[in-house]
């Protein structure tokens, strides 16, 4: 029996759930781990892709007593992203290896396709219907994100601070020089495989990806962040491993350091062109269930200290439809000015109409089969009444742009222009082929 791409993604998720008995909810929308940076030299100058943000004001962390980032961190990021490294870098010789040449060709082709099929449409939609999101914003929250900085940066390119959270481990700083010789090609192929679903379907999927990212070569979320930052034209200026205590106070820690009740994280500071202001990414490995937050309350308290911001929810496994995720849902509803989400984020019945204004884009085909219990009849009725036009890009588990659901929830009193906009009528771009 021939399966179409959307059926194939649904079947993959269903098989994974069945084979694992009942896969823990946060395992469904898995992310990607890989390995860390390297040596010295002047990093390549990145070309900024977006407008310049104002200077960030991150939660203060004491300066480390030793440099947190090896001098060659940007060369490592560019190497992993398939981009040229700086002259004199110890990675120059490895960049002559046919394995890296193939890897660079793979990513050049993949990013060209990604921009044509996904990102260009996203930018066009946002310029017309959510231009405020491209302005400098104090903070963006992206719960259940894994290492998906790609879409956080695309929706909110000039945020001063991004706070991402998932169950995926951070991993050590990648050291590419360890893999000189025959081992380089399989290491790079594993990185490509790890990114394959987000490049084709807009989200990280399946338990087997977690296995790929736990191999002994590149592991953890850091290599994924490296690729996204390099491909966005950013330069990393600092990487600091931190932990949050139960009060939400950050402390500098060593790589992989763990302690009961503490929340491990990493802070990455980066910028576009040399004259642009820095931006900060925080990523924390944490359980966002009610039970997880009770045992490790530091993450939510850290987020509270950043005040209200914009939030992104995408391919979130419908976790906040469950009773066991009320704390994180309530946090987002009380600390978000605007929430951009697909239908797997917060159920529309949780938005108080006295406080929130909702706008709908794309289409609502309902959840894929593995999440069919979370069908929203009220949402279906709204889409049948409104008949919004198609999106120019895909998002969520229904990754086809013809079936993708996008909801913009703005807290009343928040200036979001235009207040009553309909999505663009242009036909969607070609669909990505399943890999």
Domain ranges, ordered by start, for the chain: 5-411
The candidate with the shortest Cα–Cα distance to 203, out of 158, 157, 156, 147, is 147
Q: What is the pLDDT of residues 148-191, one digit of tens each?
A: 999 999 999 999 999 999 999 999 999 888 888 898 999 999 88
Backbone angles phi, psi at 238, to 5 degrees: -165, 140
Can you tell me the distance from the alpha carbon of 379 to that of 351, in angstroms, rounded to the nearest whole number?
A: 12
Tokens of 362: 């794309």
- Displacement of CA 347 from its chain's centroid (Å): 21
CA of residue 239 relative to chain centroid, distance: 18
What pLDDT is stored for residue 178 in this prediction? 87
- How high is the pLDDT of residue 62? 47
Q: Return d(Cα 163, Cα 146) in angstroms, integer.
A: 11
What Rg, from alpha-carbon coordinates, does the chain have?
21
User: Please, which residues have CB within 8 angstroms of residue 28's CB and are 6 or more apart in sequence?
Assistant: 13, 16, 17, 205, 317, 370
CA gap 298, 292 in Å, rounded = 11
Provide CB contacts within 8 A for 296, sequence distance 6+.
244, 246, 261, 262, 263, 286, 287
- In angstroms, the CA 131 to CA 137 distance is 12
Give Cα separations from 120 to 134, 343, 388 (angstroms). Answer: 14, 22, 20
DSSP string, 76-134: HHHHHTT-PPPTT-TTHHHHTSHHHHHHHHHHHHHHHHHIIIIIHHHHHHHHHH-GGGG
Q: What angle do CA 47, 339, 31 make, to 5 degrees?
A: 65
What's the CA gap between 160 and 56, in Å, rounded?
5
Q: What is the pLDDT of residue 235?
A: 94
pLDDT at 355: 97
pTM assigned to the model: 0.80
Residue 317 is encoded by which pair of tokens?
Answer: 């496994």
Nearest CA to 230 among 272, 189, 195?
272
- Distance, in Å, from the CA atom of 346 to the CA atom of 317, rounded to the nearest integer, reads 11
Pair 104, 78: CB distance under 8 Å = no
Asked if residue 179 lies in contact with residue 91, where contact means CB atoms within 8 angstroms, the answer is no
What is the C-alpha to C-alpha distance for residues 223 and 80, in angstroms, rounded to an integer? 7
CA torsion through residues 358, 362, 366, 371, sign: negative
Helix axes 184-201, 98-114, angle to 10 degrees: 10
How far apart, in Å, do the first and last CA atoms of the chain sit? 18
* Residue 284 three-state SS: strand
Evaluate whether 67 touches 73 at the Cβ level (below 8 Å). Answer: no
What's the residue count for the chain? 435
For residue 191, which of 99, 124, 255 has the smallest C-alpha distance?
Answer: 99
Parts of the chain with a pLDDT under 50: 1-58, 62-71, 202, 205-206, 208-209, 212-213, 419-435
pLDDT at 32: 30
Site of tokens 């360890």: 178
Tally of CB atoms within 10 A around 271: 20
What pLDDT does 190 receive? Answer: 87
Tokens of 220: 């953890």
């Amino acid at each position: 029996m021939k399966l179409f791409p959307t059926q194939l993604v649904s079947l993959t998720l269903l098989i994974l759930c069945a084979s694992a008995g009942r896969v823990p909810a946060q395992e469904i929308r898995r992310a990607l781990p890989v390995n860390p940076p390297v040596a010295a030299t002047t990093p390549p100058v990145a070309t900024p892709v977006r407008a310049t943000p104002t200077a960030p004001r991150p939660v203060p962390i004491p300066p480390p007593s030793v440099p947190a980032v090896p001098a060659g961190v940007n060369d490592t990021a560019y190497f992993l992203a398939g981009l040229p490294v700086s002259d004199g870098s110890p990675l120059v010789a490895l960049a002559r290896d046919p394995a890296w040449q193939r890897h660079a060709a793979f990513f050049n082709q993949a990013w060209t396709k990604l921009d044509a099929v996904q990102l260009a449409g996203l930018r066009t939609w946002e310029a017309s219907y959510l231009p405020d999101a491209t302005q400098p914003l104090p903070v963006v929250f992206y719960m259940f994100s894994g290492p998906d900085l790609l879409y956080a940066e695309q929706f909110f390119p000039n945020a001063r601070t991004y706070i991402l959270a998932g169950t995926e481990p951070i991993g050590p700083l990648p050291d590419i020089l360890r893999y000189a010789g025959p081992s380089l090609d399989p290491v790079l192929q594993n990185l490509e495989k790890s990114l394959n679903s987000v490049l084709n379907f807009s989200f990280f999927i399946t338990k087997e990806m977690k296995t790929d990212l736990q191999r002994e070569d590149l592991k953890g979320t850091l290599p994924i962040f490296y690729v996204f930052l390099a491909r966005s034209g950013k330069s990393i200026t600092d990487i600091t491993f931190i932990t949050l205590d139960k009060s939400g106070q950050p402390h500098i820690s060593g790589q992989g350091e763990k302690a009961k009740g503490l929340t491990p994280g990493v802070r990455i500071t980066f910028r576009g062109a040399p004259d642009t202001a820095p931006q900060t990414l925080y990523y924390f490995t944490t359980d966002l269930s009610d039970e997880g937050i009770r045992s490790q309350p530091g993450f939510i308290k850290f987020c509270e200290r950043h005040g209200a911001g914009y939030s992104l929810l995408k391919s979130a496994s419908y976790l906040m439809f469950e009773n066991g995720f009320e704390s994180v849902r309530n946090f987002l509803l009380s600390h978000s000015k605007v929430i951009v989400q697909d239908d797997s984020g917060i159920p529309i019945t949780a938005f108080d109409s006295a406080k929130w204004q909702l706008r709908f884009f794309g289409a609502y085909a309902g959840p894929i089969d593995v999440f069919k219990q979370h069908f929203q009849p009220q949402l279906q009725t709204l889409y049948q009444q409104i008949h919004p036009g198609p999106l120019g890009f895909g998002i969520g588990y229904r990754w086809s742009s013809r079936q993708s659901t996008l909801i913009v929830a703005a807290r009343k009193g928040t200036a979001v222009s235009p207040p009553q906009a309909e999505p663009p009528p242009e036909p969607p771009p070609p669909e990505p082929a399943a890999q």
